[in-house]
Amino acid sequence: MFEFRKSVFALALAAGIGGVAGALPAPVAAQTIKAVMHSDVKILDPIWTTAYIQRNFGYMVWDTLFAMDEKFEVKPQMVEKYDVSADKLTWTFTLRDGLVWSDGKPVTSEDCIASIKRWAAKDSMGQKMMASVASLDKVDDKTFKMKMKEPYGLVLQSLGKPSSNVPFMMPKKTAETDPNTQIKVEDVIGSGPFVFVANEWKPGEKVVFTKNTKYKPRSEAPSGLAGGKVVKVDRVEWIAMPDPQTQIAALQNGEIDMIEQPSTDLLPLLTKDKNVKLVEFNPLGNQYVMRFNQAFKPFDNAKIRHAVMVAFGQEDFLKATIGNPKYYKVCKPVFICGTPLASEEGMKDVLNQNAAKAKELLKEAGYDGTPVVLLQSTDLQVLTNLAPVAKSQLEAAGFKVDMQSSDWQSVVARRAKKDPIDKGGWNLMLTSWVAADILNPVMAGFFNASCDKAMFGWPCDPEIEKMRDAFSKESDPAKQKQIAIDLQKYWVDHPTHVNLGQWYQPAVQRTSLDGMLTAPVPVFWNMTKKK
């Protein structure tokens, strides 16, 4: 590939030192996909952290009991069959035949029970489910029962949760690790489609996975994160490459096969190159969100928060950050457009950028002109331009805004602290959610309104919590949807956050790569690579 090397080798051959090497048979090259992911893998425990790179890592190595398909339906994955008793108080799960860990030991129901417990100790949806669980009991090596204190409607949605924290099944010994302690490198043993090659893991350089030859895929065709996880390459390498310009150059030069999240600024460059293609693998995309800090004035007042919803219009945010309309969508429903719970009900009078109406509301609510502190992240390209747009729309509505800029990690640290505004606290911050994390009111962290137990912003609203509880206990999809609509209508007047539109991030691949599945997570099974 590289002329320099060819020249040096030619010189070596001319000098007569390459003759022996020339006589050796060429080794059969393993089919390897080299991909640059959105971040380097530093932590190996997808339960310990909610970071997306660990979730992606988890899908390579571990498997799940259930998984969500392309149509957002939860399908059995490691589970062969399951049933629920007539009183909906006992769930019985039976594992598929032939499931083994990569060290050769069989996957047992005890492994799964321990894994569910560890996941549920960390994940908010898991915590909610476990509040209704009376016991988890082994029946035999392949079967276990989950007995409920009361009927719970989100058992399958919880166990088939597609995004962080995903309930990955781990060996009992690993799953018994304290949920607040990272698992050890040597404990990264999964029953998923790939095997993590620990001795080739070099943080900051690469993570290596090989095909798990012991893995037994389901017989169904792959769909989303469900179905048969058939691995069609020998090896996958995630290369750590922080510089976006270098990533593109390496892709064009054929040194890597894929970039999970190419910089949106550089996409026009790529569309001109015949050897690369854009792949929109995640049609759900992401949602921009502004979060209120409800622990302090003025956003402890629901009317003032509602005024912000009236003042805002989504398109300016999307234009300023994404630019190309192909990669964004104005979407008023708070649950992702195109998913079962999306509805326009209650949204007619908000998100229309109506500054005059917002001014009136502010006056009625008694806003006293105290500046509000708006945090701006300056180093994440997809977030940087949100804050100036928010500032401009808020000021048009009569707010006084003190926009404070810092790098993203400082924003993350600051938003987690419940300090008063004059002691380094904050009023508003902007972020983005992966759509797969916010598909229903229980899953969506920003709807958690349980005061101090809620995420940063600390909303405290018993009515929202009541509706979330009702949603979690309902198993009829039509009734669930009605609860979600009622919640949305209530939330418009008592917002915990404001949704600012959806955006999409295509991956970019060499044309030699094919078979990437449509899913909320980039997965590598089903992918093929032409020689």
Partner 1 sequence: MLDFIARRLIAIIPVLAVVAIFVFLMLRLTPGDPAAVIAGDNATSDQIAMIRGKLGLDLPIWQQFAIWIGDMLHGNFGESFFFKKTVVELIQQRLEPTLALSICTLIIAVFTAVPLGVLAAYRQGSWIDRIVMGFSVLGFSMPTFVIGYILIYIFAINLGWLPVQGYVRIGVDFWQFLERMVLPSITLAIVYIALLARITRASILEVLNEDYIRTARAKGLSTRVVLMRHALRNAAVPILTVIGIGIALLIGGAVVTESVYGLPGLGRLTVEAVLSRDFPTIQAVILMFSVVYVVINLLIDISYTLFDPRIRY
Q: How far is the CB of 52 from partner 1 (least distance, A)?
A: 8
Q: How many CB atoms lie within 10 A of CB 409?
A: 11
For 3, counting Cβ atoms within 10 Å of its Cβ (0-12 exposed, 13-18 middle, 19+ buried), the class is exposed
In angstroms, give the least distance from the CB of 448 to partner 1: 8
Contact window for partner 1 (CB under 8 A) among 258-266, 318-326, 328-336, 407-415? 407-415
User: Which two three-digit tokens encode residue 265?
Assistant: 């600024």
Is residue 416 a contact residue for partner 1 (CB under 8 A)? yes
Determine, following the binding rule CB under 8 A, whether residue 242 of this chain makes contact with partner 1: yes
Nearer to partner 1, 177 or 321 (CB): 177
The two tokens of residue 66 are: 């259930």
17 contacts partner 1 (rule: CB under 8 A) = no
Q: How far is the CB of 417 from partner 1 (least distance, A)?
A: 8
With respect to partner 1, which residue has the nearer C-beta, 40 or 474? 40
CB of 43 to partner 1, least distance (A): 6
> In which residue are the tokens 């007995």 written?
147
Strand-pair partners of 93? 82, 144
240 lines the binding site for partner 1 (CB under 8 A): yes
Stretch that binds partner 1, among 4-12, 101-109, 136-144, 459-467 (CB under 8 A): 4-12
Question: Which distant-in-sequence residues (6+ apart) come within 8 Å of 249 by Cβ?
Answer: none
Shortest Å distance, C-beta 401 to partner 1: 20
Residue 511's nearest CA partner among 494, 491, 531 is: 531
Is residue 20 a contact point for partner 1 (CB under 8 A)?
Answer: no
Q: Which of 31, 32, 38, 51 binds partner 1 (CB under 8 A)?
A: 51
Q: What span, in angstroms and rounded, lies between the C-alpha atoms of 265 and 381?
A: 9
Q: Is 50 in the site for partner 1 (CB under 8 A)?
A: yes
Selected range binding partner 1 among 61-69, 207-215, 450-458, 467-475, rule: CB under 8 A: 450-458
Q: Measured between alpha carbons, how far is 108 from 65 in angstroms, rounded to an integer?
A: 12
Q: Kindly state the tokens that stand for 162.
A: 């597609």
Minimum distance of partner 1 from residue 25's CB (angstroms): 19
Q: Nearer to partner 1 by C-beta: 108 or 124?
A: 124
| Per-position DSSP letters for 405-417, written without gaps between them | EE-HHHHHHHHT-
Question: Which residues between 250 and 289 bind partner 1 (CB under 8 A)?
Answer: 250, 252-253, 255
> Applying CB under 8 A, does 5 fall inside the site for partner 1?
yes
Distances (CA, A) of 146 to 121, 124, 135, 138, 191: 16, 18, 6, 9, 22
**What CA–CA distance (Å, rounded) separates 352 from 7?**
64
For 124-162, give one letter per residue: b (16+ CB within 10 A) or e: bbbebbbebbeebeeeeebbbbbebeeebbbbbbbbbbb
Report how many residues bind partner 1 under the rule CB under 8 A: 64
Query: What tokens does 48 get?
Result: 């310990």
Q: Which ranges of 458-519 would DSSP assign to H, the alpha helix?
A: 462-473, 477-493
**Is the C-alpha dihedral spanning 433, 484, 123, 299 positive or negative?**
positive
| Nearest distance, CB of residue 48 and partner 1, angstroms | 8
- Letter string b/e over residues 190-207, b meaning 16 or more CB atoms within 10 A of that residue's CB: bbbbbbbeeeebeeeebb
Q: Which of residues 205-224 bind partner 1 (CB under 8 A)?
A: 205
Asked if 44 is part of the footprint of partner 1 (rule: CB under 8 A), the reply reads yes
**Least distance (Å) between residue 193 CB and partner 1:** 24
Nearer to partner 1, 139 or 413 (CB): 413
The 3-state secondary structure of 122-170, one letter per residue? HCHHHHHHHHCEEEEEEEECCEEEEEECCCCCCHHHHHCCCCCCCCEEC
Which segment (47-55, 69-77, 356-364, 483-491) binds partner 1 by CB under 8 A? 47-55
Taking CB under 8 A as the rule, does residue 185 contact partner 1? yes
Residue 384 touches partner 1, criterion: CB under 8 A: no
| Binding pattern for the stretch 105-144 against partner 1, x by CB under 8 A and - elsewhere | -----------------x-x--------------------
Q: Helix or strand or coil: residue 332?
A: coil
Listed residue (238, 242, 388, 395) closest to 308, CA to CA: 395
Smallest gap, in angstroms, from Cβ of residue 339 to partner 1?
18
Is residue 176 near partner 1 by the rule CB under 8 A?
no
Return the number of the residue (79 or 154) whose C-beta is nearest partner 1: 154
The least CB distance from residue 355 to partner 1, in Å, is: 31
The residues binding partner 1 (CB under 8 A) are 1-5, 8-9, 40, 42-44, 48-52, 54, 122, 124, 164-165, 180-182, 184-185, 202-205, 239-243, 245-246, 249-250, 252-253, 255, 406-407, 409-410, 412-418, 431, 433, 437, 445, 448, 452-456, 458
